[in-house]
Amino acid sequence: MTSPAGLAGPACPMPSAETERVLLGHGSGGQLMTELLTDVITAELGTGEPLEDAAVVGVGGVDTVFTTDGFVVTPRFFPGGDIGSLAVHGTINDLAMRGAIPVALSLAYIIEEGLPIAELRRITRSAAAAAAAAGVEIATGDTKVVGRGAADGLYVTTTGIGLRPEGARPSAAGGRPGDVVVLSGPIGLHGTAILSAREGLGFEAEIASDSRPLHRLVAAMLAAGGTGVHTLRDPTRGGLASALNELASASGTGIEITEADVPVPRPVAAACELLGLDPMHVANEGCLLGLLAPESARDVLRAMRALPEGVDATVIGEVTDGPAGRVSARTLIGSTRIVDVLIGEQLPRIC
């Protein structure tokens, strides 16, 4: 669109609904992604709100937890895992964040012509090993092949079914003022491991992805804390900052964390410094956030620390009465800063 001659037009063309296109940032887990999900996908699906990472569906009288996740990580092999194990862990963890024990997974491949069969074999073996270690069955699958140039090697979509034990109903909206915010382990490992492997930054020896299943940790937390476990969330795409903001918004509360209490491994801090990243925005695949009733926090923390995947569990802040949706951090120098979500894309294709 050009402005008629003689009239002052906008300096740059405004995007219109007809010409808008999907951007990489729409996949970031940040603000743009929320807009795409809300304005386009859930609007057209006719659901009132963005689809949950995992939904609860009544199947023959049984509350079944159901989740799906596409994996497009590049490179496909990285320190600490590969696209196969990552897909299995990611889907197990989406189930676990609703308090569910995984029962069965499906595995759908979209393969680019030319992928070495040895690589497909290795990835499939890795997915099978991850599922076996987590005690869950890969029950069904699908394989499609597209021509050269029509995909980037291999995409994996895993879907999971799980069951919730009686009484366990953690939800994104469950946080209440006074709740204790716990984090099960250090942040930033997965995103920096991927970036280092992709770009050859040389951190590969020091940083490995934290990709692992968290359902046993969740089961231990629920056994110790029961209904005092208000909320569980794994801070994947968009990192800790996005996860905290989503939880504050969903529950209509504020969250205040203490920066110095957030565990950032030294090599992650170094990599982030080099790259100009904020570790709070970097993806994780093996830790979780919990919002806990204050009277349950001690027992839940003790139960977490008894497991390898929760040995570094720590309190990082508390839930406040607002402003609703506001996340703030007490900094090392004693001031308070707002913790924002990413607007666009910081690290594409980290999962």
Binding residues among 137-156 for a copy of itself as defined by CB under 8 A = 137-147, 149-152, 155
How far apart are alpha carbons 344 and 351 in whole angstroms? Answer: 16
Count CB-CB contacts under 10 A for residue 115. 18
The identity of residue 63, as a single letter, is D
Q: Which stretch binds a copy of itself (CB under 8 A): 111-119, 171-179, 277-285, 331-339?
A: 111-119
Check binding of 4 to a copy of itself (CB under 8 A). no
Check binding of 109 to a copy of itself (CB under 8 A). yes
Check binding of 201 to a copy of itself (CB under 8 A). no
Smallest gap from Cβ 348 to a copy of itself, in A, equals 7
Q: Are 209 and 285 in contact (CB under 8 A)?
A: yes
250 vs 327, which CB is nearer to a copy of itself? 250
The interface with a copy of itself within residues 33-72 (CB under 8 A) comprises 33, 36-37, 40-41, 43-47, 51-55, 57-64, 66-72
Number of residues that bind a copy of itself (CB under 8 A): 86
Smallest gap from Cβ 43 to a copy of itself, in A, equals 8
Check binding of 179 to a copy of itself (CB under 8 A). no
11 vs 17, which CB is nearer to a copy of itself? 17
Smallest gap from Cβ 134 to a copy of itself, in A, equals 14
Sequence-separated (6 or more) residues with CB below 8 Å from residue 329:
256, 257, 258, 259, 317, 336, 337, 338, 339
C-alpha neighbours within 13 Å on the C-beta side of residue 109: 20
78 vs 155, which CB is nearer to a copy of itself? 155
CA separation (Å) from 296 to 45, 224, 301, 343?
39, 8, 9, 35
End-to-end CA distance of the chain: 38
* Maximum CA extent, the chain: 73
Smallest gap from Cβ 263 to a copy of itself, in A, equals 28
The interface with a copy of itself within residues 120-139 (CB under 8 A) comprises 120-121, 124-125, 127-128, 132, 137-139
Smallest gap from Cβ 232 to a copy of itself, in A, equals 17
Count CB-CB contacts under 10 A for residue 258. 15
Which residue in 159, 249, 258, 314 binds a copy of itself (CB under 8 A)?
159
The interface with a copy of itself within residues 257-276 (CB under 8 A) comprises none
Identify the CA nearest to 160 among candidates 144, 136, 133. Answer: 136
3-class state of residue 294 by DSSP? helix
90 vs 188, which CB is nearer to a copy of itself? 90
Smallest gap from Cβ 285 to a copy of itself, in A, equals 15
Smallest gap from Cβ 82 to a copy of itself, in A, equals 13
DSSP of 244-272: HHHHHHHHT-EEEEEGGGS---HHHHHHH
194 vs 304, which CB is nearer to a copy of itself? 194
20 vs 199, which CB is nearer to a copy of itself? 20
Sequence-separated (6 or more) residues with CB below 8 Å from residue 297:
180, 182, 225, 228, 315
Smallest gap from Cβ 292 to a copy of itself, in A, equals 26
